[in-house]
Amino acid sequence: MKKHCIYLCSLLAGALWLTAACSAPAELKPICSGEIWPDADGTHINAHGGGVLYHEGTYYWYGEHKSDSTSKALVGVMCYSSKNLTDWQNEGAVLPVVENDTTHDIAKGCVLERPKVIYNKQTRKFVMWFHLELRGKGYSAARAGVAVADQPTGPFRFLRSSRVNAGQLPADWSAEQRAALDTLNADHYKKWWTPEWHDAIDKGLLVKRDLEGGQMARDMQLFVDDNGKAYHIYSSEENLTLQIAELNDDYTAHTGRYVRVAPAGHNEAPALFKKDGVYWMITSGCTGWAPNEARMFSAPSIEGPWTQHPNPCRGPKQEITFGGQSTYVLPVAGKENAFIFMADIWRPEHPIDARYIWLPIEFEEGVPVINWRDSWTLDWFDK
């Protein structure tokens, strides 16, 4: 009888343990900025300068494939998928570079940076935009490239690359501002950073220079607003001025409408998000691969006016964005006001070893703040 009881008790205990174990929430994996982030195969994720798309229950992380010794594109745009934002499956190169034609816009060896993907509900296509520099031409092309796919994991079909909005002046310029362009003579402003040069940049010296061929487009972001309108945000005018350009209904071209932000402010790496009707944008300065202090702007409308705020970063190396450079702000699906700041810690001598910074954005009196955390879990947003 005693033996029987012990047997029954241990059965019961086992069942109770099983029930408890099954109903306990799965343990969340920590997010450790600056560390190696292994994918499902145990290999460090290779998706730099990236962004994340959430589609039908899955997150897709797109980014630049970096190789061992060069930052040039030898593979193309990578995609990783995840259900939980911590475990990522490599989906491969969804926009591969072209191997057999050195004259192709995205020929192997070009510079293909900061790819972002958005979903168009009307066309049901996935649209990718990226910063493109032509093979062998350094950073002089300053083009935007676009590709489309039927599935989030591609394959993406390259459509074209070009500068942006040729022949168009900023949408918010008055007749007076447009007329003032005629008075700007580039020969008078050869020396940079003088008050006169600053004033001339503000008035559109480089907008005028690039009017015919289109505006330069380097570091970039995409943003889809609540009304479905999409925007391309990019460093233009020799990286001196950001431009925010409206995309057409299928998101594969510009409409010709654009505004400028912070002329001569030297902003790169724009990352946008919207909270309670306010548009926020985190950017960096322009110091190549070396980190610098993050900047932050807000606006009541995507077309501005944009107001600058203090650096949102707090903690060790806050004055150099914790050693990184912004790339994206990721809204966490299903949670209100949950945003993750994504940045890259570049390693130009060993680009494949570049690391990721993912930190939760906090709000102090409505203003975003990014505190450094060695390690955190997603339930931070539930607190």
| Shortest spacing between CB 133 and ligand DGJ, in angstroms | 8
User: Among residues 114 and 295, whose Cβ is nearest to ligand DGJ?
Assistant: 114
Residue 152, sorted as left (phi over 0), alpha (psi -120 to 50) or beta, turns out to be alpha
| Shortest spacing between CB 329 and ligand DGJ, in angstroms | 16
For the chain, how long is the longest CA-to-CA vector?
Answer: 105
Residue whose Cβ sits closest to ligand DGJ: 288
User: Among residues 46 and 325, whose Cβ is nearest to ligand DGJ?
Assistant: 325
| Shortest spacing between CB 325 and ligand DGJ, in angstroms | 6
Report the DSSP pairing between strands 325-331 and 313-314. unpaired
Strands of 276-316 (E only): list them: 278-284, 295-299, 307-309, 313-314
User: Among residues 112 and 370, whose Cβ is nearest to ligand DGJ?
Assistant: 112
User: Among residues 204 and 270, whose Cβ is nearest to ligand DGJ?
Assistant: 270
CA 245-249-250 angle, to 5 degrees, is 100
- DSSP H or E stretch at residue 325: strand 325-331
User: Among residues 206 and 354, whose Cβ is nearest to ligand DGJ?
Assistant: 354
Q: How far is CA 327 from the centre of its chain?
A: 4
| Shortest spacing between CB 308 and ligand DGJ, in angstroms | 19
Q: Which two tokens stand for residue 120?
A: 């168009």
Burial tier of 107 (Cβ tally within 10 Å: 0-12, 13-18, 19+):
middle
User: Among residues 91 and 219, whose Cβ is nearest to ligand DGJ?
Assistant: 219
For residues 245-256, one letter each, b for 16 or more C-beta atoms within 10 angstroms of the residue's C-beta and e for the rest, the string is bbbeeebbbbee
Contact indicator for 131, 147 with CB cutoff of 8 Å = no
| Shortest spacing between CB 333 and ligand DGJ, in angstroms | 27
Q: How far is CA 162 from the centre of its chain?
A: 20
User: Among residues 108 and 114, whose Cβ is nearest to ligand DGJ?
Assistant: 114
| Shortest spacing between CB 83 and ligand DGJ, in angstroms | 29
| Cα 122 from Cα 234, distance rounded (Å) | 25
| Shortest spacing between CB 269 and ligand DGJ, in angstroms | 5
User: Among residues 39 and 268, whose Cβ is nearest to ligand DGJ?
Assistant: 268
Peptide bond connecting 300 to the previous residue in cis, omega within 30 degrees of 0? no
Name residue 62's amino acid: Y
- DSSP H or E stretch at residue 77: strand 76-82
| Shortest spacing between CB 164 and ligand DGJ, in angstroms | 17
List of residues contacting ligand DGJ (CB under 6 A)? 49, 113-114, 219, 268-269, 288-289, 325
User: Among residues 49 and 312, whose Cβ is nearest to ligand DGJ?
Assistant: 49
| Shortest spacing between CB 351 and ligand DGJ, in angstroms | 11
User: Among residues 138 and 195, whose Cβ is nearest to ligand DGJ?
Assistant: 138
Q: In what order do the strands lie in the sheet with 313-314?
A: 313-314, 367-371, 362-364
Question: Which letter does DSSP use for residue 155 in this model?
Answer: P
Q: In what order do the strands lie in the sheet with 230-236?
A: 220-224, 230-236, 241-247, 254-261
| Shortest spacing between CB 341 and ligand DGJ, in angstroms | 15
| Cα 73 from Cα 233, distance rounded (Å) | 22
